[in-house]
């Protein structure tokens, strides 16, 4: 019974964060969705795995940059650009708003402004450039780790900050209850599992930059909004993923 319940939470996370199909028996409730947040990094493993498989298959017949591009397209399709949309809305809000109410109003607008467009272009171009510059043999493991760890970084916001939207119909509202310590341990385990396949020094550098980016974003969200929204989770995932790849590429002077 417990295993079935955990599987339901796991599949619930897949249904919420991706476009991938889940078994018909998986139910839906606010409580189950809240508990599914512990599997956010596990979803990252699946999405990163899809990207890694496409990269490996494409790499058999095309150069590395083309394989990277196709792997990115596959992960975007799998998630429906869910987190990229959050990044765009967050940057639009913080770039164009002057107080909490205005920032939240802009973030809720379905239209994408100039700040958001620039942020999405830089994010996609950044991931393409960084992954193309990596040792080709490391790219599949980088994709697994980057997608899993960055989703753990977003989960940290769920565990440590307050949800600020008063709109009870908000899509992320069921996730807004703070995770328990046990839930965070489960999330961390999936993130560490993904990072373990990388060379320790590179993994440490990537994790350090991702942690710094998460702390910086959390401070910014707390200062301007008093907490986070669902869009903030997407922005945190995107930024921490990019700086994680940046850490993997870091070359320290002798």
pLDDT in tens, 192-232: 999 999 999 999 999 999 999 999 999 999 999 999 999 99
Both structure tokens of 218: 């959390």
Q: Is the pLDDT of residue 241 over 70?
A: yes
Among 76, 183, 170, residue whose Cα is nearest residue 127: 76
Place of tokens 């379905």: 110
For the entire predicted model, the pTM comes to: 0.93
Lowest mean pLDDT among 23-27, 31-35, 102-106: 31-35
CA pair distance 215, 227, nearest whole angstrom: 13
DSSP 3-state of 185: helix
What is the structure's pLDDT at 3? Answer: 79
What is the structure's pLDDT at 171? Answer: 52
- The answer to whether 39 and 150 have CB atoms below 8 angstroms apart is no
DSSP 3-state of 67: helix
Q: Is the pLDDT of residue 176 over 70?
A: no
Lowest mean pLDDT among 28-37, 50-59, 95-104, 197-206: 28-37
What is the structure's pLDDT at 177? Answer: 60
pLDDT tens, position by position, 132-164: 999 999 999 999 999 999 999 999 998 899 899
For residue 163, which phi and psi values (nearest 5 degrees)? -80, 130
* pLDDT level of residue 170 (50, 70, 90 thresholds): low
What is the structure's pLDDT at 254? Answer: 57
CB-based burial label for 169 (10 Å; 0-12, 13-18, 19+)? exposed
Both structure tokens of 204: 């440490």
Q: How far is CA 188 from the centre of its chain?
A: 14
Q: How many residues can be counted in the chain?
A: 254
Q: Is the pLDDT of residue 173 over 70?
A: no
Among 216, 87, 228, 89, residue whose Cα is nearest residue 159: 228
What is the structure's pLDDT at 35? Answer: 78
* pLDDT level of residue 169 (50, 70, 90 thresholds): very low
- The answer to whether 74 and 49 have CB atoms below 8 angstroms apart is no
Both structure tokens of 11: 């599949």
């Amino acid at each position: 019974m417990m295993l079935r319940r955990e599987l339901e939470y796991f599949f619930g996370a897949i249904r919420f964060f991706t476009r991938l199909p889940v078994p018909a028996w998986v139910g839906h409730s606010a409580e189950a969705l809240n508990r599914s947040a512990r599997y956010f990094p596990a979803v990252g493993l699946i999405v990163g795995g899809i990207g890694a498989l496409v990269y490996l298959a494409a790499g058999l017949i095309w150069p590395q940059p083309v394989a990277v591009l196709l792997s990115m397209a596959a992960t975007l399709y799998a998630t429906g650009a869910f987190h990229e949309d959050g990044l765009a809305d967050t940057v639009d809000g913080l770039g164009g708003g002057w107080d909490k109410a205005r920032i939240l109003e802009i973030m809720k607008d379905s239209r994408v402004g100039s700040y958001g467009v620039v942020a999405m272009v830089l994010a996609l171009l950044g991931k393409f450039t960084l992954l193309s510059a990596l040792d080709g043999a490391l790219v599949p493991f980088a994709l697994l780790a980057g997608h899993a760890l960055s989703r753990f970084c977003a989960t940290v916001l769920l565990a440590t900050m307050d949800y600020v939207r008063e709109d009870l119909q908000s899509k992320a509202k069921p996730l807004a209850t703070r995770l328990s310590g046990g839930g965070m341990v489960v999330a961390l385990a999936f993130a560490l599992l993904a990072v373990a396949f990388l060379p320790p020094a590179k993994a440490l550098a990537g994790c350090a930059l991702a942690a710094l980016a998460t702390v910086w974003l959390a401070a910014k969200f707390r200062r301007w909004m008093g907490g986070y929204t669902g869009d903030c989770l997407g922005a945190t995932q995107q930024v921490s993923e990019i700086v994680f790849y940046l850490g993997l590429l870091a070359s320290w002077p002798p």
